[in-house]
Amino acid sequence: QKEVEQNSGPLSVPEGAIASLNCTYSDRGSQSFFWYRQYSGKSPELIMFIYSNGDKEDGRFTAQLNKASQYVSLLIRDSQPSDSATYLCAVRVNTGTASKLTFGTGTRLQVTL
């Protein structure tokens, strides 16, 4: 079983729709959860992070965390063609100092006109 699992996609949504990206993780000790966006040929860019159960909103983005189900998701409202990218879910187990991230393989999102 992979430590962090994501559907590779592509997930295709029309412009203006809501894109829902999902991620599950296996380590119950995970405490911090991150979503990164990576355009083709570029490095990852931090979109959202969430530490507590529930929802966290930032502009068009909402991260949702359910630790009991070991599930984290990212919703993108009013999807735009510029949102087309690979979205990486990352999980961290905090050990007192900056701890390493475990990444999923990413979900490729395509926003169509």
Partner 1 sequence: GAVVSQHPSRVICKSGTSVKIECRSLDFQATTMFWYRQFPKQSLMLMATSNEGSKATYEQGVEKDKFLINHASLTLSTLTVTSAHPEDSSFYICSASQRNQPQHFGDGTRLSIL
Which residues are at the interface with partner 1 (CB under 8 A)? 32, 34, 36, 42-46, 49, 88, 94, 97-101, 103-106
Task: Please give the Cα distance from 14 to 106 (Å, whole number).
Answer: 20
Within the chain, how many helices (H) and strands (E) appear?
A: 0, 11
Report the nearest approach of partner 1 to the CB of residue 62 (Å): 17
Report the nearest approach of partner 1 to the CB of residue 103 (Å): 5
**CA 7 remoteness from chain centre:** 11
Name which of 25 and 36 has its Cβ closer to partner 1. Answer: 36
Please list, in sequence order, all residues whose beta carbon lies within 8 angstroms of the beta carbon of residue 97, skipping any fewer than 6 positions away: none
Name which of 13 and 89 has its Cβ closer to partner 1. Answer: 89
Work out the angle at residue 21's Cα, subtended by the Cα atoms of residues 19 and 25, and round it to the nearest 5 degrees: 170
Report the nearest approach of partner 1 to the CB of residue 96 (Å): 8
Name which of 8 and 53 has its Cβ closer to partner 1. Answer: 8
